Every structure is written in structure tokens, then in C-alpha cells.
Amino acid sequence: MEATVDSVGRVVVPKVLRDALGLRAGSTVDISPYGAGLQLLPTGRTARLVREAGVLVATGDTQIDDDDVFGLMDAGRR
């Protein structure tokens, strides 16, 4: 997926990715070098562990459905 850096260094995260990751205006992200590129990770998101039937299960607030997954897969193919 391609994006353009503007004259002051801003990059717009494509809508399909923002929606899939639950990013909204004002969301914070951590950006760091990664190999020959950049890694961009949402901050403040930690899964909670809850015990269900004696097993620890990770839970979180971000909801991702099949449409989100297929949208990301399609976007990565462009």
C-alpha cells in the first residue's frame, strides 16, 4: 500500500488500515525505524488476560471482522 509524505513530513494512514486498527483522530502511535523502513504501532493497546474455563484468554476492545481482514489483504495486493 502506498502513501505520500507531505512537505511537513505527514503521512495519511489509509482508511482501511485506520478502520481495521481502530485508529481515530487523536489516536497515538509509536513510530520507529525497522530495517530499511518504518514500523508504526498503535500505542496504549494492551490485551487483557481473563481466565475462561481455567484457561487464560487474551481479550481486547478492537473488533476486527472478515470484511476488515479481506480489505487489508486486498489493499496489500495493490
Q: What is the pLDDT of residue 4?
A: 93
Asked whether residue 6 is domain-assigned, the answer is: no
Tell me the pTM: 0.52
Residue 69 domain boundaries? 15-77
Asked whether residue 52 is domain-assigned, the answer is: yes
Over residues 5-25, the pLDDT tens digits come to 999 999 999 999 888 888 888
Asked whether residue 2 is domain-assigned, the answer is: no
Asked whether residue 43 is domain-assigned, the answer is: yes
pLDDT value at 46 more than 70: no
Cα atoms in the 13 Å half-sphere on the side-chain side of 54: 0
Contact predicate 42/21, CB 8 Å: yes
The H or E element that residue 39 is part of is strand 37-42
